[in-house]
Amino acid sequence: MNMSKPNHTDVRPRRTFLKQAAAWTGAALFAGGSQSGPAQTEAPSDWKDRIGIALYTVRDRMVSDFEGVLAKLAQIGYKEIEPASGYNGMDPKSFRAMLDRYGLSMPSTHTDYPTGTGAELERQLAAQQIMGIRYTEIRSTRTAPPRLPSGVTVPFGAYYNPSTGIIRNSFKELGAFGPYQPRVAREAAKRRAAELNANGKIAGKFGIKLFVHNHTGEFEPLLDDDRTEYDILLVETDPELVVMQLDVGWTYIAGKDPIEMFQKNPGRYELWHIKDVFGLQTVKTGLSPNQRVASMAFAPVGVGQIDYRKVFANAKLAGLKHFMVEQDNAACFGDSLAAARLSFENLKAIL
Model pLDDT for residues 161-193, shown as the tens digit of each residue? 887 888 888 888 888 988 888 999 999 999 999
Lateral strand order in the sheet of 242-247? 80-82, 52-54, 322-325, 271-274, 242-247, 209-213, 135-136
User: Check: CATH 3.30.2020.30 for 14-29+50-64+158-350?
Assistant: no
3-state secondary structure of 324: strand
**Could you report the per-residue pLDDT of 99-113, keeping only the tens digit for each?**
999 999 999 999 888
What pLDDT is recorded for position 2? Answer: 37
What pLDDT is recorded for position 173? Answer: 85
CA-wise closest residue to 237 among 270, 205, 268, 272:
268
Dihedral angle sign, alpha carbons of residues 127, 122, 83, 248: negative
Give the confidence band of 143 by pLDDT, cuts at 50, 70, 90: low
Terminal-to-terminal C-alpha distance of the chain: 31
- The residue ranges of every structural domain in the chain are 14-29+50-64+158-350
**Could you report the per-residue pLDDT of 289-340, keeping only the tens digit for each?**
999 999 999 999 999 999 999 999 999 999 999 999 999 999 998 899 999 9
Burial of 155 (0-12, 13-18, 19+ CB in 10 A): exposed
**Could you report the per-residue pLDDT of 326-347, keeping only the tens digit for each?**
999 999 988 999 999 999 999 9
The pTM of this model reads 0.87
Burial of 281 (0-12, 13-18, 19+ CB in 10 A): exposed
Mean pLDDT of all residues in 114-129:
90
Is residue 258 within 8 Å of 213, Cβ to Cβ? no
- Give the C-alpha separation, 111 to 349, whole Å: 30
What pLDDT is recorded for position 178? Answer: 86
3-state secondary structure of 238: coil
Is residue 82 within 8 Å of 108, Cβ to Cβ? yes
pLDDT at residue 156 above 90? no
Q: Which helix (H) or strand (E) holds 161?
A: strand 158-161
**Could you report the per-residue pLDDT of 19-74, keeping only the tens digit for each?**
444 555 444 444 444 443 433 444 455 899 999 999 999 999 999 999 999 999 99
pLDDT at residue 270 above 60? yes
3-state secondary structure of 340: helix
DSSP 8-state secondary structure symbol assigned to residue 146: P
**Could you report the per-residue pLDDT of 191-238, keeping only the tens digit for each?**
999 999 999 999 999 999 999 999 999 999 999 999 999 999 999 999
Q: Which of 113-122, 218-227, 241-250, 272-281 has the least mean pLDDT? A: 113-122
**Could you report the per-residue pLDDT of 77-97, keeping only the tens digit for each?**
999 999 988 999 999 999 999
Is residue 100 within 8 Å of 126, Cβ to Cβ? no
- Give the C-alpha separation, 72 to 76, whole Å: 6
Is residue 213 within 8 Å of 245, Cβ to Cβ? yes
